[in-house]
Amino acid sequence: MSDGQVGEDRGNDRTAGSEAVAIVGLGASGLAAARLALVRGGGSVYVSDLKTDAQTDARAADLRELGARVELGAHDVARIAQAGVVVVSPGIPPDAPVLRQLRSRDVRWISEPEYACRFYQGSLIAVTGTNGKTTTAALAAHLLEAAEISAALGGNVGVGLAPAASELALMHPPPQWYVLEMSSFQLADTQRMAPDIGVVTTLAPDHLDRYPDVEHYYRDKARLFQNARPRDHWVLNGEVDAVRALPGDAPGTRCLFAHDPGQVEEALPSAFVREGMLTLRWPADAGQEPTEERLAASARLRVLGRHNVLNALAAALTARVAGASPQAISDGLESFQPLPHRMQPVLDRAGVLWVDDSKATNVDAARSAVESLDRSLVVILGGRDKGEDFRPLARALRSRARLAILYGEAGGRLERELTDELGPDLPVVRVHSGFDAAVERAASEARAGDVVLLSPACSSFDLFSDYRERGRRFAELAGRGP
């Protein structure tokens, strides 16, 4: 595939500009979709959300100034049903009353990335999977930029690392490649989206609080392939049978990655580790003798853990298919590092990975961080109380964490609300003597295989000047050991 090749038949709908658009949900993705509709859509825009909190009200005020009609505290189902395009935020569960009512009227809706893609003017990489999506998507975009191929990262990246998909549609000039992280919830509500390169990092049971069983969860992931074309490429984890099986008989070229070259030897192209080097087997064209392209030593990657080697292989293979040279990929692999204080690995010692997510200064950010990690967690929460309801953290902690350690001004309310929700399901320990004591307690409790995650859900201003100072102190204390 040539650099910047523009995908065809992705669902770019220039006629949609005159249609009325209704957006259900005013979170980050709903806000971005509304702004896109107002700037590029050309028709009327109606937005609704049941929430009436200060943050939602502020977003509503901004959209009203731009010309949207916004309703908080209720959904006007009749008005939504009359819209030409209905966009539903991924946080709204499929059994929500508003969706049941729309379904009874035979109204179909789409996700925010699906809406955004209708305005894209470059090629599309879509990354999904149970774990590893964020690192793989961010690294793929980084590798393309290292090859001087313009790329824009967005979608379900979370924790403030990248914008919603709709924000990318407003970029000028447009990038050659859009790189979107896609959750199963977002994929569930796609109709015409057709990525030029689709990536599946891992598959494992997840979100069973929303899905009746794992088969339904996998079925939404498989919607990545619903509009597959022969020219498309699918970058798949060769170590996971469920991933290899996910595309079914969809057309396109399977590109496999795995640590062991024996697990992907039948695939062209493919990526693996040989003698400690990340390696590509190339080219993809049938009838040509493949060659091995050695990229970078796994020991030189700045991201930590075996799972991140797999993520690097996936990103390298994706970038190569998109037109990046082996040398540019090698350089990019060695230069990529997580953004400071945003899910940043700071130490991996004695089987314990320490992750600094000090920038997670609200409940939603902390919840996203907890849900993004696939190892047993010791989570540090606390700081200055911003008045948010902490109970939404409970479900994420129950499914991922082994222990929650609470500190700071918000420690008391955190303890009450989490204990009320979790009961005996998760040990909750409140430390009264400050941040240092909380980190030291985490060090003493952590065991091989754990992640010690600082994702406070609160501001830092009770003890620190800002989240950066808090994150630096966390890293310093982690380096001292238990």
Task: State the pLDDT at residue 417.
Answer: 94
273 phi/psi in degrees, rounded to 5: -110, 125
pLDDT, greater one: 388 or 218? 218
- In order of their start, the domains of the chain are 14-109 (3.40.50.720), 114-335 (3.40.1190.10), 344-480 (3.90.190.20)
Out of 97-101, 243-247, 389-393, pick the least confident.
389-393
pLDDT of residue 429: 93
- Tens of pLDDT along 26-58? 998 999 999 999 999 888 999 999 999 999 999
**Per-residue model confidence (pLDDT) at position 11:** 45
* β-pairing verdict for 151-155 and 85-88: unpaired
Q: With bands split at pLDDT 50, 70 and 90, how would you rate the model's confidence at 160?
A: low
Q: Report the run of H or E that residue 277 belongs to, with start and end.
A: strand 277-282
Q: What is the pLDDT of residue 304?
A: 58
Q: Is the dihedral of CA 62, 67, 68, 69 positive or negative?
A: positive
Percent of the chain with pLDDT strictly greater than 90:
69
- CB neighbour class for 443 (10 Å; exposed up to 12, middle 13-18, buried from 19): middle
Helix, strand or coil for residue 317? Answer: helix
Q: Read off the pLDDT band of 360 (50, 70, 90).
A: confident
Q: Specify the pLDDT at position 5.
A: 38
Share of residues in the chain with pLDDT > 70 (%): 92
Q: Is 275 left (phi over 0), alpha (psi -120 to 50) or beta?
A: left
Q: What does pTM read for this prediction?
A: 0.74
Mean pLDDT value across the chain: 89
How far apart are alpha carbons 10 and 228 in whole angstroms?
A: 10
Q: Are 279 and 259 in contact (CB under 8 A)?
A: no
* Residue 94 near residue 65 (C-beta atoms within 8 A): no
Q: Closest Cα partner for 377 from 347, 343, 346, 401? A: 401
Query: Is residue 264 predicted with pLDDT exceeding 70?
Result: yes
pLDDT at 300: 92
Structure confidence by residue, pLDDT tens digits, 165-208: 999 999 999 999 999 999 999 999 999 999 999 999 988 766 66
Residue 396 confidence (pLDDT) = 86
Using the predicted structure, report yes or no on whether residue 4 has a pLDDT greater than 60. no
End-to-end CA distance of the chain: 51
Residue 59: which H helix or E strand, with range? helix 54-66
Q: Cα–Cα distance between 198 and 213 in angstroms, integer? A: 24
DSSP assignments along 182-209, one per residue: --HHHHHT-SS---SEEEE-------TT
Report which of residues 307 and 394 the model is more confident about. 394
Question: Residue 465 above 60 pLDDT?
Answer: yes
pLDDT tens for 309-339 read 898 999 999 999 999 999 999 999 999 977 6
Sequence-separated (6 or more) residues with CB below 8 Å from residue 345 = 303, 304, 305, 338, 353, 354, 355, 356
